[in-house]
Amino acid sequence: MISIESKLTAAVQAGVKALYGQDVPEKMVQLQETRAEFEGNLTLVVFPFLKISRKKPEDTAQELGQYLVENVPDVVSRFSVVKGFVNLVIAPALWIQMLEDINNTEKFGFKPVTDESPLVMIEYSSPNTNKPLHLGHVRNNLLGWALANVMEANGNKVVKTNIVNDRGIHICKSMLAWLKYGNGETPESTGKKGDHLIGDYYVAFDKHYRAEVKELAAKFVAEGMDEEAATEKAKQEAPLIVEAHEMLVKWEQNDPEVRALWRKMNEWVYAGFDETYKALGVGFDKIYYESDTYLEGKEKVEEGLEKGFFYRRDDNSVWADLTKEGLDEKLLLRSDGTSVYMTQDIGTAKLRFQDFPIDKMIYVVGNEQNYHFQVLSILLDKLGFKWGKDLVHFSYGMVELPNGKMKSREGTVVDADDLIATMVADAKEMSADKMKKLEGLTEDEANEIARIVGMGALKYFILKVDARKNMLFNPEESIDFNGNTGPFIQYTYARIRSILRKAKELGIRNEELGNLPLDAELADKEISLIQHLNGFTAAVRQAGNDYNPSCIANYCYELVKEYNQFYHDFSVLKEEDEKKKLVRLALSEAVSKVVKNGLGLLGIEVPERM
């Protein structure tokens, strides 16, 4: 379908050529929504054409407005001039045609994905296998999933990936604690999800380790050391941490017992993660594991060393000197040859580049890693990855709660599974009165609606905030059926679907809503609503260009607010004029469609009844 803006742009280009004898590019034609205090729907800015017309702004505006009315009356019905601006009133029939197009276009607002589309890879989630997912992971996963949908809606092929941090000292801490205090517990014997079980042992390790440090430090102080030095020495020499490091060395040496335990406990964790991912409605096309990628990274660093990109210090450690780029020196391999996070990311990049013809790589990682990705971009570029220089770090802020930050070692995190269960339970309680009014609703259907509403509340509250900002998550506020919330938008959608079901019962067929009377009268509010619907395409483009899913969330909220005002002011099913009734039903159909598609980009479902 060709948008009104496209038709107008072509007409303005033709007008400039006819009036002033010069071709102008599309980008010179500036159209914007007309300000509320003036008559019109779209406003043409004429200042870019003054050098061509060699006339005053008012005269140029008058001539262009006159040209449009005379030559494209099916697009522009009348105009007015305000200084260097032409306020254009769009022909009513064109709005109706646009409404038809929206209802007849399955993926309105989306660009098609073709064989020639660029391939965008998006990494998100990146969990550690020593603890369950928490609120911070929830924001990460929801942002990653939404961004993947937005990039695909902008005509890109998308590959969703995850890098699982499944090796290192933190993993050994959980393994050692399970060996010492677990008595052979399993997810089956305890009834706990595997990620929760292992997370409990991570917390247990820290508890026992701190007790050992306290006891050792007191001993060192009694022997005459100052308190700070004693504590530092105790942290290094506490038996638990020494054993954990010994276990890590065994893991690195491929010790069969340690590796077998590692595989068993990781499998428990992955099964738990899968349940949480399913509840969140997210997934991945390809999962990479740090235990596979770190060795690849070491190879790539050695290659960079041979080519002179990096250098080796006297202690055998390998570094990158980035001082010429305005940064510092970056450690890539420790003196004992072990890798760091940067090494792992280089190795993961190598494997991904082998697996996929990547055109753009997007990392969804918190803003505390801004510097890391600045460095990674330079290193990947040096190592010959064509997308390295232009990699995108989708940097997002932290999630905090009304009662402060989270600490996973101390077991004070907001667990993702608990949060999901609470949101669904709250939604069921909040919507109980509304659901009592729904005839023939089974308990299973009520539970499903509560799930959709609860998860919609959680996702929308997180995704409506610009990802770059820190945010305060308030579960109570998110579940409200009024205001800028998921349930408010979902409830409006369900109300529209109810209207359309009643219309069907009255014998009004869907085909009629896609074949409207072009001579139907339109009120200003109806035109405004169609214009807002038309803006969905721009919202999708902006969300993709800015890597900002919140554009979609806030667009949906504004659209629903405008529809509710329309519904308050105008009759739909009770309208006696059949043409007006059809147009208003078509408007309702279009709003429900765009809301469903918009929320769908955010991973939010919509209930047909509520």
**What's the structural domain count of the chain?**
2
Does residue 393 belong to any structural domain of this protein?
A: no
Q: Say what the pLDDT of residue 515 is.
A: 78
Residue 257, in any domain of the structure: no
Q: What's this model's pTM, rounded to 2 decimal places?
A: 0.91
DSSP 42-97: EEEE-GGGHHHH-S-HHHHHHHHHHHHHHH-TTTEEEEEEETTEEEEEEPHHHHHH
Nearest CA among 511, 451, 520, 514 for reference residue 486: 451
Tell me whether residue 109 is in a domain: no
Q: Can you give the pLDDT at residue 35?
A: 92
CATH of the domain at 55: 3.30.1360.70
Strand partners, 162: 287
- Domain coverage including residue 84: 4-90
pLDDT beneath 70, residues of the chain: 1-2, 403-413
Q: Which 3 state secondary structure label does DSSP give 201?
A: helix
- Whether residue 133 lies inside any domain: the answer is no
Give the residue ranges of DSSP H helices in 281-360. 290-306, 341-355
Q: Which of 488, 387, 411, 510 is nearest to 134 (CA)?
A: 411
d(CA 537, CA 105): 12
The pLDDT tens digits for 524-554 are 999 999 999 999 999 999 999 999 999 999 9
* Closest to 137 measured CA to CA, from 277, 272, 269: 277
* CATH number for the domain harbouring residue 542: 1.10.730.10
**Per-residue model confidence (pLDDT) at position 405:** 47
Amino acid 411: pLDDT: 45
- Examine residue 24 and state whether it is found in any structural domain, yes or no: yes
Residue with the two structure tokens 């032409």: 86
Q: Classify residue 20: in a domain, yes or no.
A: yes
Q: Which residue has the tokens 């260097």?
A: 84
Domain finish residue from 27, 62, 90: 90
| 219 in a structural domain | no
CB atoms within 10 A of CB 175: 26
Among 27, 58, 90, give the residue marking a domain's end: 90
- Confirm whether 479 is domain-assigned: yes
- pLDDT digits 0-9 by tens, 387-432: 888 999 999 998 877 765 444 444 456 889 999 999 999 998 888 7
Q: Which of residues 90, 105, 139 is at a domain's end?
A: 90
